[in-house]
């Protein structure tokens, strides 16, 4: 079966430290030092390439949590991922995410 790449664009932010050690929607324990993220609908375990559109830095994260359907963000990342994408100071940045579908 062919895989198709899907690209979405939107805003990314990162989790507050108050979530450290709490359960994510998938049941995993949240850790700021992991490379995971929250998305509204992607299946848990999906690997996503995130590109910061302001500086072209990229990182691959794994979806393990859910964003609220009311959220204006496309994706929420851990602090580690935000640091690698160089937007901690800004708090929010414009991103594209790319993932494969079957």
Q: Would you kindly state where each structural domain of the chain is located, as residue ranges?
A: 9-95
pLDDT of res. 1: 57
Bridge partner residues of 66 (DSSP):
39
pLDDT of res. 3: 78
Instruction: Say whether 6 sits in a helix, a strand or coil.
Output: strand
pLDDT of res. 72: 96
Give the class (CATH, top level) of 9-95: mainly beta
Q: If you write DSSP's letter for every residue of 60-87 in order, what string do you get?
A: EEEEEEE--TT-S-SEEE-HHHHHHTT-
Quote the pTM value. 0.94
Q: Please identify which residue in the block is written with the tokens 């995971």.
A: 36
Q: In order along the chain (102 residues), what is the average pLDDT of each group of 10 residues?
A: 86 96 97 98 97 97 97 97 97 97 75
């Amino acid at each position: 079966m062919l895989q198709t790449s899907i690209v979405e664009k939107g805003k990314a932010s990162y989790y507050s430290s108050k979530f450290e050690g709490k359960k994510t929607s998938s049941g995993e324990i949240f850790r700021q030092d992991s490379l995971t993220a929250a998305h509204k609908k992607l299946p848990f375990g999906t690997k996503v390439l995130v590109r910061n559109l302001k500086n072209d830095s990229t990182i691959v994260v794994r979806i393990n949590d859910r964003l609220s359907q009311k959220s204006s963000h496309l994706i929420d990342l851990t602090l580690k991922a935000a640091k690698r994408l160089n937007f901690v100071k800004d708090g929010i940045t414009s991103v594209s995410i790319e993932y494969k579908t079957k």
